[in-house]
Amino acid sequence: MLPMSPNGRTLRSFAACLLLFGLGPAARAANGWLPVSPEDLAMKDNPKQPGADAMILYRENVVDASKVTEGGDTDEEYFRIKVFTQKGTEQGHVEVDFVKESQSVPYIVGRTIRPDGTIVNFTGKALEATVVKAGGIRVLAKTFTLPDVTPGCIIEYKYMTQGKPDYVHDYAWTVTQPLYTRAAHFTYIPFTGNGSGLTPMARTLMLPASAQLQQKVDGSYTMEARDIPALIQEPLMPPERPLEARVEFYYRNPDDPPATDPAQKYWNAYAKKWAGNLEHFVGKKDALSQELSKIAGPGDSPEIKLRKIYARVLQVRNLNAEDYKTLKETKAEDLKPNNNVQDVLAHGYATSRQINWLFIGLARAAGFEATDVYLAPRNSDVFLPQQNDVAVLRTEIVWVRAGSQEYYLDPGARYFPFGLLPWYETGTGGIRVDKHGATITEIPNPVASQSTIVRSGDIQISDTGSMAGQIQVDLTGQRAALLRRSLRREDETGRTKDLEDQVKRWLPAGSTFSIAKISGWDDIERPVHLEGNLTIPSFGGHSFSQLLMPVEIFEPVEAADFLPETRVNMVYFPYPYEESDDLKIHAPAGYAVESAPPARNVDLKAVAYDISAAPAKDTIEMKRHLEVNGFLYEVKAYPTLRAFFNTVRTYDNGRMVLQKTSLAKAN
């Protein structure tokens, strides 16, 4: 069974850089750059990380939140990067992310220093593109490409993002970068409050011993760091945030519990406040009782009642599941606020949180215990209760007890059927709230049966080795829910094309697939069912008398992720899953099945696989099953996982031999 995890120039440069960055933003952008040493220009490789494509020679980050009430807070970045290889030249393409509604980018400057010391300044224009539209927030990027970037050169650039006045942002120094960092300097000047009662606070995560955060007498923070290893990018790696060395800055309100409190006291304070908000929202008991009488009957079992309540709250228009709306569009629609569950029932629309709270209210009206659970979604964070970090609890679900049975549900997620949480809300921790305080809670791990692909088909081989036929695909659980959510903006034509493209990614290059039927799309309790026709160009080898064909037409997508011999990060599948195939493969006219590969089985508990090919005259029935039963595997498990998926690929490529019948009789 595989192990699975539980849940003498440098000082001069620093001094010069500190002098430069003591200037104002506009002056800093215009006052030139730090001197470049001949040693850095001549450098051929990173002595601390040989073979790297590039490295950060120096980085400076200055955040000034002291002028929030005047011009707005500012965040200035300066990078100097040495490029070693052709792949490293990609560092010359830069993206600066910002939120359009609350931030701007006052300046971007950059230049390329060729190996001979000549300089080419960036004189182009940064382009603006939308990166994300979600929840009413537009994340944009200013993108630009530095000129003449070749191996051996040094590139450097500076930019500033600036917030709107009177808005205090939380900031973080992300010390770990995708490249090795030789030296870095950080400065944070906090907002002092001006009577607001806000207290600036700092939290350190994963910092190496060489990086010591210092707070000066004026309240500002500084830190120097050296020799910071790169965060190596690998397929199937855990979320980056928990792996990064970081310093996070935030502001404590006067009524927030001190982060220095014992953990239980800290979380009790938040839980009681959250419970009070919930109680206020669900307090309309008469409205809840009237609605419940329309939903469930007295003879319904506890689970049937809960399922009916779940189905009812899903009928509420989920504002968080809709496309981004401009402020003008929102005003035109004139949506009224929801102050309680009665408003939600009257308006017929709500946020995801309000939908969950409506479910809690109706569940309580039906006699069940029900409350909120605040979670750290594991696609971005890890919940460590002793850290007293409320910011990691970025999502909410519902806890219900019906007799001895406990349920974790998230009707606010919209596309997930009863009993199925989004994968990032499973296998993680959080706080279950009530008026008495907090209960530290661990959400159960997902299981493979909650995410399946079942494929069946009837395939005809031609005498040239090409294939054509019909296949059916059923997707359940996470796969179905995530598809419904990702394609919610598409019309029928766009959805069909996207699903066809997904199936083609399972097939050999050059294959085609056209959908004839989609069913179950609008019923989240049913699988997403596809039927369609495929063609595969010459798939095996053939001679005058024989065809040699692989028994599996669907290619294992995991194999490419396990090509490297070594690995740095743990292996992280978003969720466990199963794949099952049942294909009837017919020989062309005039051919018979001469042989098929033997049945194979590999069961390592954490991962398992079996395949069989049963020949019968001119037909082979191929059955295959693959299970990945965990989602997080230690680095030491990588060689075994790699060997497993290489074995899967080998067995999938096992050949069946088809012989011309006239020659077979002659022999």
pLDDT value of position 51: 93
Q: Are residues 137 and 205 in the same domain?
A: yes
Q: Are residues 82 and 121 in the same domain?
A: yes
Mean pLDDT, residues 551-557 taken together: 89
**Residue 531 located in a structural domain:** yes
- Does residue 15 surpass a pLDDT of 50? no
Q: What is the DSSP code string of 198-258?
A: -EEEEEEES--TT---EE-TTS-EEEEEEEEPP----TTPPPSGGGS-EEEEEEE-TTSPP
pLDDT value of position 197: 79
**Residue 257 located in a structural domain:** no
Q: Are residues 284 and 238 in the same domain?
A: no
Please say whether the beta carbons of 200 and 191 come within 8 A: yes
Least confident of 217-231, 323-337, 355-369, 627-641: 323-337
Mean of per-residue pLDDT scores for the chain: 90
**Residue 5 located in a structural domain:** no
Least confident of 283-287, 524-528, 544-548, 610-614: 544-548
Residues ≥6 apart with Cβ < 8 Å to 644: 602, 604, 607, 609
First to last CA, the chain: 48
Name the residue with tokens 């908000």.
Answer: 277
> The domain spanning residue 595 has which CATH number?
2.60.120.1130
> The domain spanning residue 79 has which CATH number?
2.60.40.3140
- pLDDT class for 140, splitting at 50, 70, 90? confident
Question: Cα separations (Å) of 588 from 142, 552, 591?
Answer: 57, 17, 6
Q: What is the pLDDT of residues 60-84, one digit of tens each?
A: 999 999 988 888 999 999 999 999 9
Q: CA dihedral defined by 369, 370, 371, 373, rounded to 10 degrees? A: 110
pLDDT value of position 79: 97
**Residue 105 located in a structural domain:** yes
Q: Are residues 267 and 402 in the same domain?
A: yes
Q: CA dihedral defined by 281, 286, 291, 293, rounded to 10 degrees? A: 140
Q: Structural domain tally of the chain?
A: 3
> The domain spanning residue 348 has which CATH number?
3.10.620.30
**Residue 480 located in a structural domain:** yes
Q: Are residues 228 and 304 in the same domain?
A: no
For the chain, the C-alpha Rg in angstroms (whole number) is 30
Q: What is the pLDDT of residues 577-591, one digit of tens each?
A: 999 999 999 999 999
Highest mean pLDDT among 123-127, 353-357, 432-436: 353-357
Mean pLDDT, residues 90-106 taken together: 90
Residue 132: strand, helix, or coil: strand
pLDDT value of position 325: 64
Angle among Cα 327, 330, 335 to the nearest 5 degrees reads: 145
pLDDT value of position 31: 56
Q: What are residue 538's DSSP bridge partners?
A: none
Q: Are residues 25 and 127 in the same domain?
A: yes
**In this structure, what are the phi and psi dihedrals at residue 493, rounded to the nearest 5 degrees?**
-65, -45
Q: What is the pLDDT of residues 208-236, one digit of tens each?
A: 888 999 999 999 999 999 999 999 999 99
- Does residue 95 surpass a pLDDT of 70? yes
**Residue 492 located in a structural domain:** yes
**Residue 535 located in a structural domain:** yes
Q: Are residues 563 and 633 in the same domain?
A: yes
Find, among 569, 510, 570, 498, the residue nearest to 536 by Cα.
Answer: 510
Residue 286 CB coordination number (10 Å): 9
Burial classification of residue 454, based on how many CB atoms lie within 10 Å of its CB (0-12 exposed, 13-18 middle, 19 or more buried): middle
* Residue at a domain's end among 381, 409, 442: 442
pLDDT value of position 96: 92
- Does residue 502 surpass a pLDDT of 90? yes
Mean pLDDT, residues 324-342 taken together: 80
Q: What is the pLDDT of residues 27-48, one digit of tens each?
A: 444 456 999 999 999 999 999 9
Mean pLDDT, residues 410-437 taken together: 96
Residues ≥6 apart with Cβ < 8 Å to 129: 140, 141, 143
Domain extent for 196: 10-252
Token pair listed for 149? 């970037």
Residue 202 CB coordination number (10 Å): 17
Mean pLDDT, residues 525-554 taken together: 89
* Residue at a domain's end among 442, 464, 497: 442
Q: Are residues 236 and 292 in the same domain?
A: no
Q: Are residues 271 and 183 in the same domain?
A: no
Mean pLDDT, residues 182-191 taken together: 95
Residue 303: strand, helix, or coil: helix
Q: Are residues 427 and 532 in the same domain?
A: no
**Residue 4 located in a structural domain:** no
pLDDT value of position 430: 97
Q: Are residues 429 and 458 in the same domain?
A: no
Distance CA 552, CA 566 (A): 28
Q: Which residue has the higher pLDDT, 209 or 133?
A: 209
Q: What is the pLDDT of residues 269-328, one digit of tens each?
A: 999 999 999 999 999 999 999 999 999 999 999 999 999 999 999 999 999 888 666 656
* Residue at a domain's end among 442, 470, 496: 442
Q: Is the dihedral of CA 565, 568, 571, 574 positive or negative?
A: negative
- pLDDT class for 330, splitting at 50, 70, 90? low
pLDDT value of position 334: 84
Mean pLDDT, residues 355-367 taken together: 98
Least confident of 530-534, 550-554, 572-576: 550-554
Q: Are residues 203 and 54 in the same domain?
A: yes
- Does residue 454 surpass a pLDDT of 80? yes
Distance CA 378, CA 427 (A): 8
pLDDT value of position 324: 62
